[in-house]
Structure 1
Protein backbone atom coordinates (compact mmCIF):
# COMPACT_ATOMS: atom_id res chain seq x y z
CA UNK A 1 0.00 0.00 0.00
CA UNK A 2 2.81 2.36 0.89
CA UNK A 3 4.42 1.68 -2.50
CA UNK A 4 1.21 2.70 -4.30
CA UNK A 5 1.07 6.02 -2.46
CA UNK A 6 4.67 6.80 -3.46
CA UNK A 7 3.93 6.13 -7.14
CA UNK A 8 0.65 8.11 -7.20
CA UNK A 9 2.23 11.57 -7.88
CA UNK A 10 4.27 10.10 -10.74
CA UNK A 11 1.18 8.44 -12.21
CA UNK A 12 -0.81 11.69 -11.91
CA UNK A 13 1.95 13.67 -13.62
CA UNK A 14 2.17 11.17 -16.48
CA UNK A 15 -1.60 10.86 -16.99
CA UNK A 16 -3.04 14.35 -16.57
CA UNK A 17 -5.99 13.70 -18.87
CA UNK A 18 -7.06 10.61 -16.90
CA UNK A 19 -6.71 12.38 -13.57
CA UNK A 20 -8.66 15.39 -14.89
CA UNK A 21 -11.43 13.13 -16.16
CA UNK A 22 -11.56 11.28 -12.84
CA UNK A 23 -11.83 14.56 -10.90
CA UNK A 24 -14.58 15.85 -13.23
CA UNK A 25 -16.60 12.63 -12.84
CA UNK A 26 -16.11 12.69 -9.07
CA UNK A 27 -17.29 16.31 -8.82
CA UNK A 28 -20.34 15.57 -11.01
CA UNK A 29 -21.23 12.55 -8.89
CA UNK A 30 -20.94 14.50 -5.64
CA UNK A 31 -23.01 17.37 -7.05
CA UNK A 32 -25.74 14.95 -8.17
CA UNK A 33 -25.91 13.27 -4.78
CA UNK A 34 -25.96 16.56 -2.87
CA UNK A 35 -28.67 17.87 -5.20
CA UNK A 36 -30.85 14.82 -4.56
CA UNK A 37 -30.59 15.43 -0.81
CA UNK A 38 -32.03 18.95 -1.11
CA UNK A 39 -34.74 18.50 -3.73
CA UNK A 40 -38.32 18.64 -2.50
CA UNK A 41 -39.57 15.55 -4.34
CA UNK A 42 -38.69 11.91 -3.80
CA UNK A 43 -37.85 9.10 -6.21
CA UNK A 44 -39.74 5.83 -5.77
CA UNK A 45 -38.84 2.32 -6.80
CA UNK A 46 -41.63 0.16 -8.23
CA UNK A 47 -41.92 -1.53 -4.80
CA UNK A 48 -42.14 1.88 -3.14
CA UNK A 49 -44.89 2.94 -5.53
CA UNK A 50 -46.78 -0.27 -4.79
CA UNK A 51 -46.64 0.53 -1.08
CA UNK A 52 -47.79 4.10 -1.71
CA UNK A 53 -50.71 2.87 -3.85
CA UNK A 54 -51.78 0.43 -1.13
CA UNK A 55 -51.40 2.98 1.67
CA UNK A 56 -52.40 6.39 0.28
CA UNK A 57 -54.13 6.01 -3.11
CA UNK A 58 -51.99 8.63 -4.90
CA UNK A 59 -52.81 10.59 -8.01
CA UNK A 60 -50.61 9.06 -10.72
CA UNK A 61 -49.86 11.18 -13.76
CA UNK A 62 -48.14 9.50 -16.71
CA UNK A 63 -46.36 12.06 -18.88
CA UNK A 64 -45.43 9.53 -21.58
CA UNK A 65 -46.39 10.02 -25.20
CA UNK A 66 -49.91 8.71 -25.80
CA UNK A 67 -48.62 5.87 -28.00
CA UNK A 68 -46.30 4.67 -25.22
CA UNK A 69 -49.08 5.04 -22.65
CA UNK A 70 -51.44 2.93 -24.78
CA UNK A 71 -48.83 0.14 -25.05
CA UNK A 72 -48.34 -0.16 -21.29
CA UNK A 73 -48.86 1.95 -18.18
CA UNK A 74 -49.20 1.63 -14.42
CA UNK A 75 -52.84 0.74 -13.66
CA UNK A 76 -54.73 3.79 -12.45
CA UNK A 77 -52.38 6.33 -14.03
CA UNK A 78 -53.83 9.21 -16.04
CA UNK A 79 -52.08 10.20 -19.25
CA UNK A 80 -51.26 13.88 -19.71
CA UNK A 81 -49.10 15.13 -22.56
CA UNK A 82 -45.92 16.80 -21.34
CA UNK A 83 -46.88 19.91 -23.32
CA UNK A 84 -50.28 20.01 -21.57
CA UNK A 85 -48.92 19.45 -18.05
CA UNK A 86 -49.85 22.46 -15.93
CA UNK A 87 -49.56 22.28 -12.12
CA UNK A 88 -51.59 25.49 -11.88
CA UNK A 89 -54.62 23.83 -13.53
CA UNK A 90 -57.67 24.20 -11.26
CA UNK A 91 -58.53 20.48 -11.54
CA UNK A 92 -55.03 19.47 -10.53
CA UNK A 93 -54.89 22.12 -7.80
CA UNK A 94 -57.69 20.25 -5.99
CA UNK A 95 -55.23 17.41 -5.39
CA UNK A 96 -52.58 19.45 -3.56
CA UNK A 97 -53.02 17.42 -0.39
CA UNK A 98 -52.80 14.05 -2.16
CA UNK A 99 -49.53 12.36 -2.95
CA UNK A 100 -48.80 12.90 -6.65
CA UNK A 101 -46.65 10.44 -8.58
CA UNK A 102 -45.18 11.36 -11.95
CA UNK A 103 -44.41 8.57 -14.38
CA UNK A 104 -43.02 8.45 -17.89
CA UNK A 105 -41.60 5.81 -20.20
CA UNK A 106 -38.14 5.59 -18.62
CA UNK A 107 -38.00 8.11 -15.76
CA UNK A 108 -35.58 10.49 -17.46
CA UNK A 109 -37.71 13.59 -18.03
CA UNK A 110 -39.52 14.00 -14.72
CA UNK A 111 -37.31 16.28 -12.62
CA UNK A 112 -38.60 19.53 -14.16
CA UNK A 113 -42.31 18.61 -13.93
CA UNK A 114 -41.74 17.44 -10.33
CA UNK A 115 -40.06 20.74 -9.47
CA UNK A 116 -42.99 22.61 -11.07
CA UNK A 117 -45.44 20.70 -8.86
CA UNK A 118 -43.45 21.56 -5.74
CA UNK A 119 -43.30 25.22 -6.80
CA UNK A 120 -47.09 25.18 -7.31
CA UNK A 121 -47.57 24.13 -3.67
CA UNK A 122 -47.82 20.36 -3.84
CA UNK A 123 -46.26 18.93 -0.70
CA UNK A 124 -46.05 15.22 -1.51
CA UNK A 125 -44.48 14.80 -4.94
CA UNK A 126 -42.93 11.54 -6.10
CA UNK A 127 -41.31 10.29 -9.30
CA UNK A 128 -41.22 6.66 -10.41
CA UNK A 129 -37.51 6.03 -10.84
CA UNK A 130 -37.02 4.23 -14.15
CA UNK A 131 -40.59 4.93 -15.26
CA UNK A 132 -42.89 2.36 -16.80
CA UNK A 133 -39.85 0.38 -17.95
CA UNK A 134 -38.81 -0.18 -14.32
CA UNK A 135 -42.39 -1.09 -13.41
CA UNK A 136 -42.43 -3.73 -16.16
CA UNK A 137 -38.93 -4.85 -15.22
CA UNK A 138 -40.20 -5.57 -11.70
CA UNK A 139 -42.83 -7.79 -13.35
CA UNK A 140 -45.71 -5.75 -11.96
CA UNK A 141 -49.04 -5.68 -13.82
CA UNK A 142 -49.58 -3.09 -16.52
CA UNK A 143 -52.67 -1.80 -18.22
CA UNK A 144 -53.05 -1.16 -21.95
CA UNK A 145 -55.16 1.25 -23.90
CA UNK A 146 -56.18 4.84 -23.33
CA UNK A 147 -57.51 4.40 -19.79
Structure 2
Protein backbone atom coordinates (compact mmCIF):
# COMPACT_ATOMS: atom_id res chain seq x y z
CA UNK A 1 0.00 0.00 0.00
CA UNK A 2 2.74 2.47 0.98
CA UNK A 3 4.66 1.45 -2.11
CA UNK A 4 1.81 2.60 -4.40
CA UNK A 5 1.70 6.00 -2.68
CA UNK A 6 5.41 6.51 -3.22
CA UNK A 7 5.08 5.45 -6.84
CA UNK A 8 2.16 7.86 -7.30
CA UNK A 9 4.21 10.73 -5.80
CA UNK A 10 7.21 9.94 -7.97
CA UNK A 11 5.13 9.57 -11.11
CA UNK A 12 3.26 12.84 -10.53
CA UNK A 13 5.90 15.04 -8.88
CA UNK A 14 5.45 17.83 -11.45
CA UNK A 15 1.72 18.12 -10.68
CA UNK A 16 2.44 18.26 -6.97
CA UNK A 17 5.10 20.93 -7.55
CA UNK A 18 2.70 22.93 -9.72
CA UNK A 19 0.02 22.75 -6.99
CA UNK A 20 2.49 23.93 -4.34
CA UNK A 21 3.75 26.80 -6.49
CA UNK A 22 0.25 27.99 -7.40
CA UNK A 23 -0.88 27.71 -3.78
CA UNK A 24 2.14 29.73 -2.71
CA UNK A 25 1.37 32.37 -5.34
CA UNK A 26 -2.18 32.66 -4.00
CA UNK A 27 -0.94 32.95 -0.42
CA UNK A 28 1.87 35.45 -1.16
CA UNK A 29 -0.21 38.65 -0.80
CA UNK A 30 -1.43 37.56 2.63
CA UNK A 31 2.05 36.52 3.75
CA UNK A 32 3.71 39.77 2.68
CA UNK A 33 0.93 41.84 4.19
CA UNK A 34 -0.83 42.68 0.89
CA UNK A 35 -2.80 45.85 0.41
CA UNK A 36 -5.61 44.83 2.73
CA UNK A 37 -7.26 48.23 2.34
CA UNK A 38 -7.52 48.02 -1.45
CA UNK A 39 -10.97 47.40 -2.88
CA UNK A 40 -12.20 46.88 -6.41
CA UNK A 41 -14.63 49.06 -8.32
CA UNK A 42 -17.60 46.82 -7.47
CA UNK A 43 -16.84 46.95 -3.74
CA UNK A 44 -16.42 50.72 -3.92
CA UNK A 45 -19.80 51.18 -5.59
CA UNK A 46 -21.41 48.96 -2.94
CA UNK A 47 -19.84 51.02 -0.14
CA UNK A 48 -21.02 54.24 -1.77
CA UNK A 49 -24.57 52.99 -2.31
CA UNK A 50 -25.10 50.96 0.85
CA UNK A 51 -23.02 52.76 3.47
CA UNK A 52 -22.82 56.31 2.10
CA UNK A 53 -19.06 56.09 1.65
CA UNK A 54 -17.38 59.35 0.69
CA UNK A 55 -15.00 59.33 -2.28
CA UNK A 56 -11.86 61.36 -1.62
CA UNK A 57 -9.77 62.19 -4.70
CA UNK A 58 -6.16 62.97 -3.73
CA UNK A 59 -5.12 64.18 -7.21
CA UNK A 60 -3.96 67.72 -7.85
CA UNK A 61 -6.61 70.34 -8.61
CA UNK A 62 -5.74 70.25 -12.34
CA UNK A 63 -6.01 66.46 -12.53
CA UNK A 64 -9.29 66.58 -10.62
CA UNK A 65 -10.69 69.21 -13.02
CA UNK A 66 -9.74 67.02 -16.01
CA UNK A 67 -11.85 64.14 -14.70
CA UNK A 68 -12.91 62.61 -11.39
CA UNK A 69 -15.33 60.13 -9.84
CA UNK A 70 -18.80 61.70 -9.81
CA UNK A 71 -19.60 63.38 -6.46
CA UNK A 72 -16.07 62.94 -5.13
CA UNK A 73 -14.29 65.49 -2.97
CA UNK A 74 -10.92 66.83 -4.06
CA UNK A 75 -8.37 66.83 -1.26
CA UNK A 76 -4.88 66.87 -2.84
CA UNK A 77 -2.43 64.56 -1.08
CA UNK A 78 -0.23 67.51 -0.07
CA UNK A 79 -3.19 69.20 1.67
CA UNK A 80 -4.64 66.11 3.33
CA UNK A 81 -3.61 66.84 6.93
CA UNK A 82 -4.90 70.41 6.93
CA UNK A 83 -8.02 69.96 4.79
CA UNK A 84 -11.48 70.96 6.00
CA UNK A 85 -13.04 68.99 3.11
CA UNK A 86 -12.90 65.63 4.91
CA UNK A 87 -15.98 64.19 6.62
CA UNK A 88 -16.24 64.98 10.33
CA UNK A 89 -17.84 61.57 10.98
CA UNK A 90 -14.70 59.42 11.36
CA UNK A 91 -16.71 56.16 11.19
CA UNK A 92 -17.97 56.93 7.69
CA UNK A 93 -16.21 54.77 5.08
CA UNK A 94 -13.82 56.59 2.77
CA UNK A 95 -12.84 55.45 -0.71
CA UNK A 96 -9.59 57.16 -1.67
CA UNK A 97 -8.88 57.64 -5.38
CA UNK A 98 -6.11 59.02 -7.55
CA UNK A 99 -5.16 58.39 -11.17
CA UNK A 100 -3.71 54.90 -10.61
CA UNK A 101 -3.99 54.18 -6.87
CA UNK A 102 -0.38 54.98 -5.92
CA UNK A 103 -0.99 58.32 -4.16
CA UNK A 104 -4.21 56.99 -2.67
CA UNK A 105 -2.22 54.19 -1.01
CA UNK A 106 0.06 56.78 0.59
CA UNK A 107 -2.97 58.73 1.81
CA UNK A 108 -4.26 55.83 3.92
CA UNK A 109 -1.67 56.38 6.65
CA UNK A 110 -2.49 60.07 6.92
CA UNK A 111 -6.25 59.51 7.01
CA UNK A 112 -5.87 56.78 9.64
CA UNK A 113 -3.65 59.10 11.69
CA UNK A 114 -6.40 61.73 11.44
CA UNK A 115 -8.78 59.23 13.05
CA UNK A 116 -10.72 57.87 10.09
CA UNK A 117 -11.59 54.27 10.88
CA UNK A 118 -12.63 52.80 7.52
CA UNK A 119 -10.31 53.94 4.75
CA UNK A 120 -10.03 52.04 1.46
CA UNK A 121 -8.02 52.61 -1.70
CA UNK A 122 -9.74 52.12 -5.05
CA UNK A 123 -7.51 49.51 -6.67
CA UNK A 124 -6.45 50.77 -10.09
CA UNK A 125 -7.63 54.29 -9.29
CA UNK A 126 -9.58 56.45 -11.72
CA UNK A 127 -8.31 54.32 -14.61
CA UNK A 128 -10.17 51.28 -13.20
CA UNK A 129 -13.26 53.42 -12.56
CA UNK A 130 -13.28 54.59 -16.19
CA UNK A 131 -12.63 51.07 -17.47
CA UNK A 132 -15.79 49.95 -15.61
CA UNK A 133 -17.72 52.70 -17.47
CA UNK A 134 -18.74 54.41 -14.25
CA UNK A 135 -19.60 58.13 -14.18
CA UNK A 136 -16.73 60.60 -14.42
CA UNK A 137 -17.23 64.35 -14.13
CA UNK A 138 -15.12 67.27 -15.25
CA UNK A 139 -15.01 70.63 -13.55
CA UNK A 140 -13.94 74.09 -14.58
Provide the TM-score with structure 2 as the length reference: 0.71
RMSD: 2.8
Q: 1:58 pairs with 47, 50, 53, which one?
A: 53
After superposing on structure 2, the runs of 4+ consecutive aligned residues of structure 1 that deviate more than 2 Å are 29-34, 88-93
How far off its partner does 1:30 sit? Answer: 3.8
Gaps of 5+ in 1: 6-25
Q: Which residue of 1 aligns with 2:79?
A: 84
Q: Structure 1 stretch 129-138 or stretch 75-84: which is displaced more?
A: 75-84
Gaps of 5+ in 2: 1-8, 14-23
Q: CA-to-partner distance for each residue in 1:49-98, whole Å, 9 max, x for gaps?
A: 11111101112110112222112111111112221111x65663613121
- TM-superposed deviation, 1:32: 7.4
**Is 1:134 matched with 2:128?**
yes
- After TM superposition, the structure 1 = structure 2 runs for residues 89-128 of structure 1, keeping only pairs within 5 Å, are 92=86, 94-128=88-122
Aligned counterparts of 1:31 and 1:104: Cα–Cα separation in 2:
22
Structure with bigger RCO (C-alpha 8 Å, 6+ apart) = 1
* Corresponding pairs, count: 121
Aligned counterparts of 2:77 and 2:65: Cα–Cα separation in 1: 15
**Match status 1:67 vs 2:62:** yes
> Normalising by the residue count of structure 1, what TM-score does the alignment of the two structures yield?
0.68
Matched, 1:144 2:138: yes
